Structure 1
Amino acid sequence: MDHFSGARPDKNLKYRGLLQAYSRTNRTMGAKKSQGNVVVFRNLKPATDKAIELFANKNAQEEIILAPYEDYVKTFEEATAKLFAITPTVECVDELLTEEDEAAFVQAFRELIRVKNVLDCFTQFDFSTLPLDEQTFADFRSKYLDLYDKVRSEKEKEKVSILDDLDFEVELISRDKINVSYIINLLRNMQKKKPEEQAKARKQEAITDLSKDEGLQQDGLEKVIGNYLFTEKTPMRDDVIGIMEKRPSLRERRSVADRVIDKIKAFVETFIDGVS
């Protein structure tokens, strides 16, 4: 369990100093330490919320600080129900008839992986309390990887497939840990800059312009950008395609999605990384 390194337990911290103290607990050490666990001796929540609002935005608490463990258990249960609706048993994966069915399974199990990796961050995580036991999860994972191998093989043969647009996130499977840098680390270059309404307006205007230019749902675009900032992982093609008002043809999907992804990266470089 981590404490504030170099911080006095009897001293209230504010704003930048508070975030710096949190960030020090969050330095990862590979599989040994994938997240920070902070213990405080005073009620710092109001100050923490204010600090996050100053250096991010007023709704950032939900993106930066993990929700209670029980919330993720509920999400895992819901994700499991969706998976079972598509493939009630592991054997059913082999009986999927179309690529659309296979894509639905990939997306459902991928969501389960994401939630399971968040649950791994909690010391009370116990597979026996979940609606999917550890062995069945591993069996589904094997089928998932079989589909990944199938897609790679078909790509080599230059065969067009719906599954080409899916990111299997196999790096999360191989580690079975979310190796996500705390979003506070993304804001290090912003800590010395006071919030400016004008800058926020330009950023919002850029998001609106990008949405209109590419025919994207603005709420969906903001979520994709938020996930990009949180995970530091390039947005997935199928997530980008999913927020398009009009879906491109199968043959155009890759090029259109890649174009939008490049624009999202440019937005982040300009309005996030470029802020000092």
Structure 2
Amino acid sequence: MMMTTNKKWRLSASFFCLTSFFLTPVFLTTFSANSQAVVMEEQVSPASDKAALQPFEAKYLIYRSGKQHGEASRYLQTDGQNYELGYHSKISWLIFSDERNERSRFYLQDGRIKPTQYLMKRSGTGPSRHYELNLDWAGKSLKVDKNQKLKKVNWNDNWLDLLSFHSQIVLDLKAGKTDFVYDVLNRHGESRNYKYKVATEEWLSLPFGKIKAIRIERYGQSPDKQVYAWVAPELDYLLVRLWQSEDNVEQFDVQLQSYQPK
């Protein structure tokens, strides 16, 4: 059975990955010793940085055309110095299935996020995928893929990855910013320019309940693709909804179901 392009979900991790959210979780996969040993120098953050991000666990429901097709979860944890932001999603639609585990490890320095490792694994219909980035800020080197191949690039001190830039948005919102431009490394270690702006503030009725949220829109991309995200100031700017359409077809609508600060 074939699904035509205009009907198939385009599951991307372009924003809150569904990274990709969103398609974007608690990350349960066991990593290799090399993946666990991330050496970070000059990463001691000032106390204000340590308190800048609130650890949490959150669960979401994934809809398309008003019907639920899956669930997702996100978390942020810290040891007081380093952070880990994770995402997990699982959806099914007709014969199509998709499950993703994604996470970013980073630290804060002068209000800026410094990612050290990004990992995404995908399984389900079609081929499985494994993407990995390892950033050495002291040595200014970038390694990609499972075999940690050194990538020849011009180092950029502003690099973020497909998950860590979500937390940078939180920091920038707290700083009063309303327009954001980020240099984001994709899954292959190639830099892309991501642009977002605050659009408006509005009330949302979600599975979680009614909550006031700030709507953020992505701009500077194809007019055929729309990405809207809502974050709630009262929940430390947690992502509470993500909606995307492409070619006038709704791709997904992710809504907060539960939230627990840690």
TM-score (norm 1): 0.24
Larger Cα-atom Rg: 1
TM-score (norm 2): 0.25
